[in-house]
Amino acid sequence: MKSAVIVFPASNCDRDAKTALTQMTGKAPAMVWHQDKELPDVDLVVLPGGFSYGDYLRCGAMANQSGIMGAIKAHADKGGAVLGICNGFQVLTESHLLPGALMRNAGLKFVCKPVELTVEESQSAFTRGYEKGQTVTFPVAHGEGNYVADEATLDRLEGEGRVVFRYQANPNGSARDIAGILSEKRNVLGLMPHPERVVDPATGGTDGRALFKSLIETLS
Protein backbone atom coordinates (compact mmCIF):
# COMPACT_ATOMS: atom_id res chain seq x y z
CA MET A 1 0.00 0.00 0.00
CA LYS A 2 1.38 3.37 -1.04
CA SER A 3 0.42 6.29 1.17
CA ALA A 4 0.84 10.03 1.59
CA VAL A 5 0.48 12.31 4.60
CA ILE A 6 -0.50 15.93 4.01
CA VAL A 7 1.50 18.52 5.95
CA PHE A 8 -0.32 21.74 6.78
CA PRO A 9 1.15 24.70 8.70
CA ALA A 10 0.75 23.78 12.40
CA SER A 11 0.06 20.10 11.76
CA ASN A 12 1.42 18.32 14.81
CA CYS A 13 0.41 14.72 14.14
CA ASP A 14 1.86 14.35 10.66
CA ARG A 15 4.93 12.66 12.11
CA ASP A 16 2.76 10.38 14.24
CA ALA A 17 0.93 9.31 11.07
CA LYS A 18 4.25 8.83 9.25
CA THR A 19 5.61 6.68 12.09
CA ALA A 20 2.49 4.52 12.24
CA LEU A 21 2.35 3.99 8.47
CA THR A 22 6.07 3.22 8.29
CA GLN A 23 5.79 0.71 11.12
CA MET A 24 2.72 -0.98 9.63
CA THR A 25 3.69 -1.00 5.94
CA GLY A 26 7.46 -1.17 6.17
CA LYS A 27 7.89 1.93 3.99
CA ALA A 28 7.60 5.61 4.73
CA PRO A 29 4.68 7.55 3.28
CA ALA A 30 5.21 10.51 0.99
CA MET A 31 5.03 13.75 2.99
CA VAL A 32 3.10 16.18 0.81
CA TRP A 33 3.20 19.93 1.47
CA HIS A 34 -0.25 21.51 1.55
CA GLN A 35 0.47 23.93 -1.29
CA ASP A 36 1.52 21.23 -3.74
CA LYS A 37 -0.95 20.85 -6.58
CA GLU A 38 -0.59 17.12 -7.20
CA LEU A 39 -0.46 13.92 -5.21
CA PRO A 40 2.06 11.17 -5.90
CA ASP A 41 0.71 7.82 -7.06
CA VAL A 42 -0.75 6.53 -3.78
CA ASP A 43 -3.59 4.37 -2.52
CA LEU A 44 -4.19 6.21 0.76
CA VAL A 45 -4.09 9.89 1.68
CA VAL A 46 -3.97 10.84 5.36
CA LEU A 47 -5.01 14.26 6.63
CA PRO A 48 -3.42 14.33 10.10
CA GLY A 49 -4.37 15.95 13.36
CA GLY A 50 -3.09 19.26 14.62
CA PHE A 51 -4.08 22.89 14.36
CA SER A 52 -3.81 23.73 10.67
CA TYR A 53 -3.41 27.49 10.24
CA GLY A 54 -3.73 27.84 14.00
CA ASP A 55 -7.44 26.93 13.82
CA TYR A 56 -8.22 30.50 12.70
CA LEU A 57 -11.73 31.10 11.36
CA ARG A 58 -13.17 27.59 11.78
CA CYS A 59 -11.05 24.52 12.35
CA GLY A 60 -10.08 23.18 8.94
CA ALA A 61 -11.60 26.08 6.98
CA MET A 62 -8.31 27.61 5.86
CA ALA A 63 -6.74 24.21 5.20
CA ASN A 64 -9.61 23.52 2.80
CA GLN A 65 -8.28 26.39 0.65
CA SER A 66 -4.84 24.77 0.31
CA GLY A 67 -3.62 23.89 -3.15
CA ILE A 68 -3.51 20.13 -2.50
CA MET A 69 -7.23 19.88 -1.72
CA GLY A 70 -8.24 19.74 -5.37
CA ALA A 71 -6.05 16.67 -5.87
CA ILE A 72 -7.41 15.07 -2.69
CA LYS A 73 -11.00 15.59 -3.85
CA ALA A 74 -10.13 14.09 -7.24
CA HIS A 75 -8.46 11.13 -5.51
CA ALA A 76 -11.60 10.55 -3.43
CA ASP A 77 -13.90 10.96 -6.44
CA LYS A 78 -11.98 8.18 -8.19
CA GLY A 79 -12.50 5.89 -5.19
CA GLY A 80 -9.13 6.45 -3.55
CA ALA A 81 -8.96 6.04 0.22
CA VAL A 82 -8.77 9.14 2.42
CA LEU A 83 -8.34 9.08 6.20
CA GLY A 84 -8.88 12.28 8.18
CA ILE A 85 -7.90 12.19 11.85
CA CYS A 86 -8.96 14.91 14.30
CA ASN A 87 -8.13 18.15 12.45
CA GLY A 88 -8.15 16.04 9.30
CA PHE A 89 -11.80 15.15 10.03
CA GLN A 90 -12.53 18.87 10.39
CA VAL A 91 -10.90 19.53 7.01
CA LEU A 92 -12.99 16.77 5.42
CA THR A 93 -16.24 18.33 6.64
CA GLU A 94 -15.13 21.80 5.51
CA SER A 95 -14.38 20.37 2.05
CA HIS A 96 -17.74 18.54 1.99
CA LEU A 97 -16.03 15.21 1.48
CA LEU A 98 -17.97 14.29 4.62
CA PRO A 99 -21.28 15.74 5.84
CA GLY A 100 -21.85 17.70 9.04
CA ALA A 101 -19.46 19.87 11.03
CA LEU A 102 -17.21 19.73 14.09
CA MET A 103 -18.13 22.34 16.70
CA ARG A 104 -16.73 23.46 20.04
CA ASN A 105 -16.82 20.74 22.70
CA ALA A 106 -19.99 20.88 24.77
CA GLY A 107 -17.97 21.47 27.93
CA LEU A 108 -16.01 24.30 26.23
CA LYS A 109 -12.76 22.66 27.31
CA PHE A 110 -9.97 20.91 25.44
CA VAL A 111 -10.25 17.15 26.01
CA CYS A 112 -7.09 15.01 26.02
CA LYS A 113 -7.42 11.43 27.28
CA PRO A 114 -7.93 7.82 26.16
CA VAL A 115 -11.56 7.03 25.34
CA GLU A 116 -13.40 3.78 24.77
CA LEU A 117 -15.15 3.40 21.44
CA THR A 118 -17.58 0.87 20.03
CA VAL A 119 -16.87 -0.37 16.51
CA GLU A 120 -20.22 0.12 14.78
CA GLU A 121 -19.25 -0.95 11.27
CA SER A 122 -16.75 -3.68 10.42
CA GLN A 123 -17.53 -3.94 6.70
CA SER A 124 -15.35 -1.13 5.41
CA ALA A 125 -11.83 -0.86 4.07
CA PHE A 126 -10.86 0.83 7.33
CA THR A 127 -12.44 -1.54 9.84
CA ARG A 128 -12.41 -5.08 8.47
CA GLY A 129 -9.86 -6.00 11.11
CA TYR A 130 -12.35 -5.31 13.89
CA GLU A 131 -15.48 -7.10 15.03
CA LYS A 132 -18.80 -5.24 15.04
CA GLY A 133 -19.53 -4.25 18.64
CA GLN A 134 -15.87 -4.53 19.66
CA THR A 135 -14.57 -2.06 22.24
CA VAL A 136 -11.32 -0.27 21.39
CA THR A 137 -9.42 2.49 23.15
CA PHE A 138 -8.01 5.43 21.19
CA PRO A 139 -6.80 8.76 22.62
CA VAL A 140 -8.55 12.04 21.84
CA ALA A 141 -7.02 15.52 21.91
CA HIS A 142 -9.36 18.22 20.66
CA GLY A 143 -11.31 21.33 21.55
CA GLU A 144 -13.72 21.14 18.61
CA GLY A 145 -14.81 17.53 18.34
CA ASN A 146 -18.55 17.96 18.80
CA TYR A 147 -19.99 16.40 15.64
CA VAL A 148 -23.23 18.00 14.48
CA ALA A 149 -25.55 17.42 11.54
CA ASP A 150 -29.26 17.77 10.86
CA GLU A 151 -31.51 14.89 11.84
CA ALA A 152 -32.02 13.74 8.26
CA THR A 153 -28.26 13.48 7.75
CA LEU A 154 -27.80 11.65 11.04
CA ASP A 155 -30.57 9.21 10.13
CA ARG A 156 -29.00 8.61 6.72
CA LEU A 157 -25.56 7.97 8.26
CA GLU A 158 -27.10 5.48 10.67
CA GLY A 159 -29.28 3.79 8.06
CA GLU A 160 -26.45 3.39 5.55
CA GLY A 161 -24.02 1.95 8.09
CA ARG A 162 -21.72 4.96 7.83
CA VAL A 163 -21.26 5.54 11.55
CA VAL A 164 -18.04 3.63 12.12
CA PHE A 165 -17.03 4.46 15.70
CA ARG A 166 -19.17 5.64 18.61
CA TYR A 167 -18.09 6.99 21.99
CA GLN A 168 -19.06 4.86 24.96
CA ALA A 169 -18.77 7.90 27.26
CA ASN A 170 -19.23 11.00 25.14
CA PRO A 171 -16.34 13.45 25.81
CA ASN A 172 -17.51 16.36 23.64
CA GLY A 173 -21.29 16.35 23.13
CA SER A 174 -21.11 14.78 19.66
CA ALA A 175 -24.53 13.96 18.20
CA ARG A 176 -25.55 10.35 18.86
CA ASP A 177 -22.09 9.76 20.38
CA ILE A 178 -20.58 9.70 16.88
CA ALA A 179 -16.78 9.50 16.79
CA GLY A 180 -16.19 8.61 13.13
CA ILE A 181 -18.12 8.44 9.85
CA LEU A 182 -17.73 7.22 6.29
CA SER A 183 -18.48 9.00 3.03
CA GLU A 184 -21.29 7.84 0.77
CA LYS A 185 -18.81 5.84 -1.32
CA ARG A 186 -17.31 4.47 1.92
CA ASN A 187 -13.77 5.35 0.81
CA VAL A 188 -13.34 8.42 3.05
CA LEU A 189 -13.21 8.08 6.84
CA GLY A 190 -13.12 10.93 9.31
CA LEU A 191 -12.71 10.36 13.04
CA MET A 192 -11.76 12.52 16.00
CA PRO A 193 -9.84 9.88 18.05
CA HIS A 194 -6.25 9.06 17.06
CA PRO A 195 -5.64 5.46 15.88
CA GLU A 196 -2.09 6.36 14.80
CA ARG A 197 -1.16 6.90 18.46
CA VAL A 198 -2.06 3.34 19.45
CA VAL A 199 -0.03 1.31 16.98
CA ASP A 200 2.99 0.66 19.19
CA PRO A 201 2.59 -0.73 22.72
CA ALA A 202 5.35 1.63 23.82
CA THR A 203 2.97 4.54 23.25
CA GLY A 204 0.08 3.12 25.22
CA GLY A 205 -1.70 0.44 23.21
CA THR A 206 -2.20 -1.32 19.90
CA ASP A 207 -5.93 -0.93 19.19
CA GLY A 208 -5.17 1.26 16.17
CA ARG A 209 -3.18 -1.42 14.38
CA ALA A 210 -6.26 -3.17 13.00
CA LEU A 211 -7.34 0.00 11.18
CA PHE A 212 -4.06 0.28 9.30
CA LYS A 213 -3.90 -3.49 8.75
CA SER A 214 -7.40 -3.37 7.26
CA LEU A 215 -6.27 -0.69 4.80
CA ILE A 216 -3.10 -2.58 3.90
CA GLU A 217 -5.03 -5.77 3.18
CA THR A 218 -7.67 -3.94 1.16
CA LEU A 219 -5.46 -1.58 -0.82
CA SER A 220 -2.32 -3.65 -1.42
Structural contact between residues 61 and 94, judged by C-beta atoms closer than 8 angstroms: yes
Residue 13 annotated as catalytic: no
Residue 65: predicted pLDDT? 77
Residue 111: predicted pLDDT? 95
Would you report the helix, strand and coil content of the chain in percent, each value rounded to 5?
A: 30, 25, 45
The pTM score is: 0.95
List 34, 59, 86, 94, catalytic entry: 86
Structural contact between residues 113 and 119, judged by C-beta atoms closer than 8 angstroms: no
Greatest alpha-carbon pair distance for the chain in Å reads: 43
Residue 129: which residues within 8 A CB-CB, separation 6 or more? 209, 210, 211, 213, 214, 217
Burial class (CB in 10 A: 0-12, 13-18, 19+), 56: exposed
Residue 64: predicted pLDDT? 74
CA distances (Å), origin 52, targets 12, 39, 64, 73, 154: 9, 19, 10, 18, 27
Residue 62: predicted pLDDT? 67
- The full set of domains in the chain, from first to last, is 3-219 (3.40.50.880)
Residue 112 annotated as catalytic: no
Note down pLDDT in tens along the chain; length 220 residues.
Answer: 999 999 998 888 999 999 999 999 999 999 999 999 999 999 999 999 987 766 666 666 667 777 899 999 999 999 999 999 999 999 999 999 999 999 999 988 999 999 999 999 999 999 999 999 999 999 999 999 999 999 999 999 999 999 999 999 999 999 999 999 999 999 999 999 999 999 999 988 999 999 999 999 999 8
CA distances (Å), origin 186, targets 72, 125, 182: 15, 8, 5
List 120, 121, 144, 196, catalytic entry: 196
